[in-house]
Chain A
């Protein structure tokens, strides 16, 4: 596709359930990022993938959060045993290698934990 695609666009889940959020980056982009945006707040870094290098997981808030990137393309962010404080918009971005300042963002997945 022409841009970064995220699915689902909206997700409502019950507290304690696991959720998977998907990101399809722009074709050819080797770098992929996940951020979280709470209501009225700036973006909070979660994790960064670059090519075959080990991902930078320093932003993951707890061990309930994990992410993987298969085949250097599609990425899945998994949140286990969701809590109400996990409610936020989860944004994925991708960029060319070495061009992280020009990352292209998807529209995000709005996660609501009830």
Chain B
């Protein structure tokens, strides 16, 4: 069945570095892709999303890149800060009859060292 997974389970960076978190997906029908940040003891927090008709979208200090050819999604965080330390999940949605139903990846733990 469809699945969304992450290449790296953990990522450690120094404060001020740029971080790149990767995600592979298998459902070619996916239309929406979303990144969430989850801090310990909290629910996931929306970061940024992108539709399948786009290949790049920028937010505040974050950029999401979508490569449909290889079914790859990435989240780039510029000038990473200790407050960025969290688990990052990618999620996808196929739209249509699956509207509202997100399939999440397993997550990447990002640790930012001061």
Q: List the B side residues contacting A4 at CB < 8 Å.
A: 43
**Chain B min CB distance to A50 (Å):** 6
Report which of B41, B49, B100, B102 forms a contact with A43, defined as CB distance below 8 A: B102
**Number of A-B pairs whose CB atoms are under 8 Å?**
57
- A48-B100 contact given A42-B89, A42-B107, CB 8 Å threshold: yes
Query: Do the beta carbons of B101 and A48 come within 8 Å of each other?
Result: yes
List residues 76-105 of chain B with CB under 8 A from any CB of chain A.
89, 91, 93, 99-105
Query: Do the beta carbons of A45 and B103 come within 8 Å of each other?
Result: yes
Report which of B42, B45, B99, B103 forms a contact with A100, defined as CB distance below 8 A: B99
Query: Do the beta carbons of B34 and A59 come within 8 Å of each other?
Result: no
Q: List the B side residues contacting A45 at CB < 8 Å.
A: 101-103
Q: List the A side residues contacting B100 at CB < 8 Å.
A: 31, 33, 48, 50, 56, 100
How many residues on the A side are at the interface (Cβ–Cβ under 8 A)?
A: 26
Query: Do the beta carbons of A100 and B102 come within 8 Å of each other?
Result: yes
Q: List the B side residues contacting A101 at CB < 8 Å.
A: 32, 34, 46, 49, 93
Query: Do the beta carbons of B104 and A42 come within 8 Å of each other?
Result: yes
Asked if A107 is at the interface (CB within 8 A of a chain B CB), the reply is: yes
Asked if B106 is at the interface (CB within 8 A of a chain A CB), the reply is: yes
- Chain B interface (Cβ < 8 Å from any Cβ of A): 4, 32, 34, 41-46, 49, 89, 91, 93, 99-107
**Top-6 shortest CB links A-B:** A105-B43, A42-B104, A48-B100, A101-B49, A43-B104, A100-B100
- Chain A interface (Cβ < 8 Å from any Cβ of B): 4, 31, 33, 35, 40-45, 48, 50, 56, 58-59, 91, 93, 100-108
Known A31-B100, A100-B99, A101-B32; further 14 A-B contacts with Cβ < 8 A? A4-B43, A41-B107, A43-B102, A43-B104, A45-B102, A50-B99, A56-B101, A58-B101, A100-B102, A102-B46, A105-B43, A105-B44, A106-B43, A107-B41
